[in-house]
Structure 1
């Protein structure tokens, strides 16, 4: 399924437990399991999606769509595999296929690219590449006001420990997801592995019929487009 089809049909199917798409060429079937990751504090309503180990606090840019300040639930779509014999493929484990911040408990009427200031993505039959650059196989959601908090969480302390790495390491062999709060500011970050690793990953904003954002979804290109 390409970008145009996703715009029409939405990303809801990414967050429904059970088999998805057609079996792969090797006879494997993808299976989705949705995991709730708790709430993300957005005290300014300005959401950022970025590689938490790459972005500098001064370089963090929020999406142009601003939501009401508050706490919003975050969920991730985990994809595992069933082999041709109907048995779990334990060698692959799971991959984080997509991550979502739910703004309103409503079905999105349309999906469009979530952009940062000065960024423009034309809606063409073949979508241009857009999204944030991942170089540590990790992505995250956080409020723009939490950029400095993220820097502390993603950095080593005097003992050489890193809160964010430690939290991710406790879940899924380091794949997360993890919801981590900065003790100094009280602000939190939700982090997770990014599909198959490094790359450029797009975030989409779903809107209701009034044009208000109801969800932000980052797609890590794991789920079969079929």
Structure 2
């Protein structure tokens, strides 16, 4: 393709996808703030409604560029990392060949060629072949893992041939020369960039209808009519004044914590019953029997709302299909989790891991949608005290209102 202009849009990381739109778009302003903060984001460069390159900015100042051909097929991936010269080195360049559109859609390549370049210009080119279709992955790995089955070429080259400038934010012309590797050439020496990113919109996800999550009765969901049933899940014992909301199987070094008063407090689950069965739609621990005046997103110290696009949120990450409320001093013995927690949750919505008083306990519950990330909301009273903390598993309709 010959192009004289590149359309520029921004969004979250989505390197394995194809197409003209970001599944998680963000405004130019949010992308700029993420760049300044060293946070990841992606830039889509397109021309005449066709994607030419997807550029991802990774923490550690690494850039990854996906290149598309005239069919809008993703055919190449280039990793660029900081070099001692102050420029970026195309340290790894991977190309694929496909026999048909169907093979491409299922990512069944015929040939994968990977070029690796060292900091001093030592080059290695490795070619891998898929072999006969229908062969098992294990057999393919066995065929391609040996030195005799993977052709390798090694040679030296001027490292300058693999360098490109480090772009300032918005200076995406830096990546225009890479487009020639897929046959895309600029019509002029100066490429015009046109911003087609989304507006700022309403900003990050807002807490709407949180109280209704625990109001018994009929409601609407994306899957049709349902019934909300609040369920008592026991009393949570807090001793340190720090509530942790976490996947109990992955309590990290800096978990999502909320400063709360010490004591014992009721935990309530919101079960959502549909024709398909019941699921946990939300969980709440209540510290004050006072309706919240306002809601705020529970943030970790390094999280900034200004770096979120429209409708985005920071939340609790889930990898075991389970979330727990616990005190910050509560320890979890991983070897006991299967027997004491995960197996019981196969037949129960919630499980308590007790401790003798006055030690803190742990109350775990199923995550309504399973693995993923979910917003955690702090409900504050008129005088700013924490009245409750809620995990919303987002099973209800998004337009449920205040």
Tell me if both proteins adopt one fold, taking TM over 0.5 as the criterion. yes
Report the number of matched residues: 198
Tell me what 2:36 maps to.
Answer: none
The answer to whether the 8 A contact 1:41-1:143 is kept is yes
Equivalent positions of 1:174-213 (< 5 A) are 176-182=349-355, 186-213=359-386
SS in 2 for 1:20: strand
Change (3 A) 1:124 1:137: closer
- TM-score, length basis structure 2: 0.45
Say which of 295, 307, 328 aligns to 1:144.
328
The alpha-carbon deviation at position 166 of structure 1 amounts to 3.9
Say which of 163, 167, 171 aligns to 2:344.
167
SS in 2 for 1:203: strand
SS in 2 for 1:13: helix
Tell me what 2:264 maps to.
Answer: 71
SS in 2 for 1:164: helix
Superposed CA offset, 1:97-150 (max 9, x none)? 11101010011100010112232224988232311211111111100010x2xx
The answer to whether the 8 A contact 2:323-2:367 is kept is yes
Say which of 328, 336, 343 aligns to 1:156.
336
Which structure 1 segments of 5+ residues have no match? 82-88
The answer to whether the 8 A contact 2:204-2:312 is kept is no
Equivalent positions of 1:43-192 (< 5 A) are 43-56=239-252, 59-63=253-257, 65-81=258-274, 89=275, 92-122=276-306, 126-146=310-330, 148=331, 151-152=332-333, 154-156=334-336, 162-171=339-348, 176-182=349-355, 186-192=359-365
Change (3 A) 1:15 1:145: same
Bigger Rg over Cα = 2
The answer to whether the 8 A contact 2:326-2:362 is kept is yes
CA RMSD of aligned residues (A): 2.7
- TM-score, length basis structure 1: 0.77
Say which of 11, 15, 18 aligns to 2:217.
18
Tell me what 2:160 maps to.
Answer: none
Q: Which has the higher contact order (CA 8 A, sep 6+)?
A: 1
* C-alpha distance in structure 2 between counterparts of 1:19 and 1:216, whole Å: 23
The answer to whether the 8 A contact 1:201-1:218 is kept is yes
Superposed CA offset, 1:73-118 (max 9, x none)? 110111011xxxxxxx2xx221111110101001110001011223
Which structure 2 segments of 5+ residues have no match? 1-201
